[in-house]
Amino acid sequence: MTSPVFLYGSPVLRKVSSDIPEDYPELDELIDNLFETMYHSDGIGLAAPQIGKSLRIFVVDASSLEEEDSSLSGFKRVFINPRIISYEGELTVYNEGCLSIPDIREDVERESAIHIRYCDSDFNYREEYFEGMAARIIQHEYDHLEGRLFTDLISPLKKRLLKRKLTSISKGRVEVKYRVKHA
């Protein structure tokens, strides 16, 4: 099953998500839904708020990029109730996009490495260190759980230049091959 992707301007994208209880009844369905919706939209990460659920979970699969970046080989994970416990390394810039903000890409500065605690799909606690592109993808998805979007991290001038485009996205005026929903 796939879900519509909620677009920029949807209130759910601005909420801080709640932890998922260990006995959450539809966890497997939610995980499948996130992966299927992400693959269907050609994304490499998707967070629950993007399908309208204010829950602390996101999925990533960047293994398709391994030819360009060998560090991403096998980088497929489910992150439940994640907490980034430290940001490390140096600031790097990369041109990011987001399924909730189609057709906009902007340079975003982020830390090059992170330590993160989370539960996997079997609710086993894990603590892991990520760097490079994996660390960037995780930070982008993690921000969704905090109600933050990458457009919050660009300069006020750039944001002003994007204002009309963002307004039209929030009204559902987008041309993408996946299902979308707007506020």
Provide the binding-site residues for Ni ion, judged by CB under 5 A.
98
CB-nearer residue toward Ni ion: 50 or 81 = 50
CB of 110 to Ni ion, least distance (A): 13
Q: Dihedrals φ, ψ of 92, to 5°? A: -130, 160
Using left for φ > 0, alpha for ψ between -120 and 50, and beta otherwise, residue 81 falls in: left
CB-nearer residue toward Ni ion: 15 or 125 = 15
Kind plus residue range of the DSSP H or E element containing 131: strand 125-131
Give how far Cα 3 sits from Cα of 19, 159, 178, 181, Å: 21, 28, 9, 9
CB of 122 to Ni ion, least distance (A): 25
CB-nearer residue toward Ni ion: 118 or 142 = 142
CB of 4 to Ni ion, least distance (A): 15
The whole-angstrom distance between residue 137's C-alpha and the CA centroid of its chain comes to 7
Q: Which of 66, 128, 141, 146 is catalytic?
A: 141
- Is residue 141 among the annotated active site residues? yes
Catalytic residues, by residue number, are 141
